[in-house]
Copies of this chain bind each other. A is one copy, B any other.
Amino acid sequence: MSRQALLDNILAKQSFLCVGLDTDINRIPAHLGDMEDPIFEFNKQIIDKTADLVIAYKPNTAFYEALGPAGMQSLKKTIDYIPDDILVIADAKRGDIGNTSRLYARSFFDYYDADALTVAPYMGEDSVGPFLEYPDRWIIILGLTSNAGSQDFQQLELKSGEKVHEAVLKRCAEYGSADNTMFVIGATQADYIAEIRKIVPDHFFLVPGVGAQGGSLTAVAEYGLNDKVGLIVNSSRGIIYASDGEDFADAARLKAQALQSEMAQILSTREFV
């Protein structure tokens, strides 16, 4: 999906919401347990009830991998089921030497046919390069993450005066362009988003951490929006586990709708729509 197509979707739906499909077999409603593929059935109902409100879905691959090959079948079916005009982000945080990253690209872009893949930056340029050879696909590189452990290395100060995550953003922005590269910037790090926006003014940010992890949508939007929106905000647990009953998909829709309404308001205030 091109950057223009993504922006067009955002403006048409008045939404920059991504729903994280962190579908845990131990947390889905009991009545799905007897179905042939409970994980896919859960996702299918969530997608049916939220597709008009979102511009991206983000299956977190760990939840599928935990179930072995059968889980990967559920992942494949889920991605195939997502409407074509919605961005599919495989949240897998991969990255390895070039010949290995090439295989990860084959997995996520050829086999699973995701539009975007989250990537860990520690191994540098040749670990990222193979993903950029796929036209109209995206890599989303970890910049400043939403968890407590982001203090351990991402916030260390370099001799140059920059923080490690700032050097990562600057250097990784050179690997590709704003047309094929986004960055993960945690919503719990709203204080930093204004600074980060100066370093990478044009790139889209994928922002996790709104909801269960405590980040604020208003703060993220205030500092993170750029002149082409430049934000995809993800909520996972806060939406998909809104209810553990048979009404789970309707409950998820209500949560998604609340976020989408806030987003429509923000986009209107900022005169995008």
> Nearest chain B CB to A106's CB is how many angstroms away?
4
Contacts A68-B72, A98-B147, A149-B126 given: A63-B103 contact, CB under 8 Å?
yes
For window 132-191 of chain A, which residues contact chain B by CB distance below 8 Å? Answer: 142, 145-154, 156-159, 161, 164, 167-168, 171
**Total copies of this chain within the assembly:** 2
Which residues of B are found within 8 Å of A100, using beta-carbon distances?
A: 22, 60, 62-63
Which residues of B are found within 8 Å of A67, using beta-carbon distances?
A: 107, 111
Question: With A and B bound together, what is the CA distance between A101 and B60 in angstroms?
Answer: 11
Q: Contact size class for A?
A: 35 or more
For window 95-151 of chain A, which residues contact chain B by CB distance below 8 Å? Answer: 95-101, 103-104, 106-107, 110-112, 120-128, 142, 145-151
A44 in the interface, Cβ–Cβ < 8 Å? Answer: no
> Nearest chain B CB to A49's CB is how many angstroms away?
24
A3 in the interface, Cβ–Cβ < 8 Å? Answer: no
Which residues of B are found within 8 Å of A123, using beta-carbon distances?
A: 142, 145, 147, 149-150, 154
A66–B145 touching, CB < 8 Å: no
Question: With A and B bound together, what is the CA distance between A111 and B72 in angstroms?
Answer: 13
Question: With A and B bound together, what is the CA distance between A99 and B148 in angstroms?
Answer: 12
A197 in the interface, Cβ–Cβ < 8 Å? Answer: no
**Please, what's the 1-or-0 string for A70-114, where 1 marks a CB less than 8 Å from any CB in chain B?**
101100100000000000000101111111110110110011100
A65 in the interface, Cβ–Cβ < 8 Å? Answer: yes
A122–B125 touching, CB < 8 Å: no
Which residues of B are found within 8 Å of A168, using beta-carbon distances?
A: 153
Which residues of B are found within 8 Å of A156, using beta-carbon distances?
A: 158-159, 164, 167
Question: With A and B bound together, what is the CA distance between A146 and B97 in angstroms?
Answer: 8
Question: With A and B bound together, what is the CA distance between A76 and B71 in angstroms?
Answer: 13
Contacts A72-B72, A156-B164, A158-B158 given: A66-B150 contact, CB under 8 Å?
no
**Please, what's the 1-or-0 string for A1-41, where 1 marks a CB less than 8 Å from any CB in chain B?**
00000000000000000000010100000000000000000
Which residues of B are found within 8 Å of A142, using beta-carbon distances?
A: 122-123
Q: Give the residue name and chain of the B residue nearest to A186 (CB).
A: B97
Q: 17 A-B residue contacts at CB 8 Å? A: A22-B99, A62-B100, A62-B103, A93-B94, A95-B120, A97-B147, A97-B213, A122-B145, A125-B149, A126-B149, A128-B149, A156-B164, A157-B158, A157-B159, A158-B159, A159-B159, A159-B161
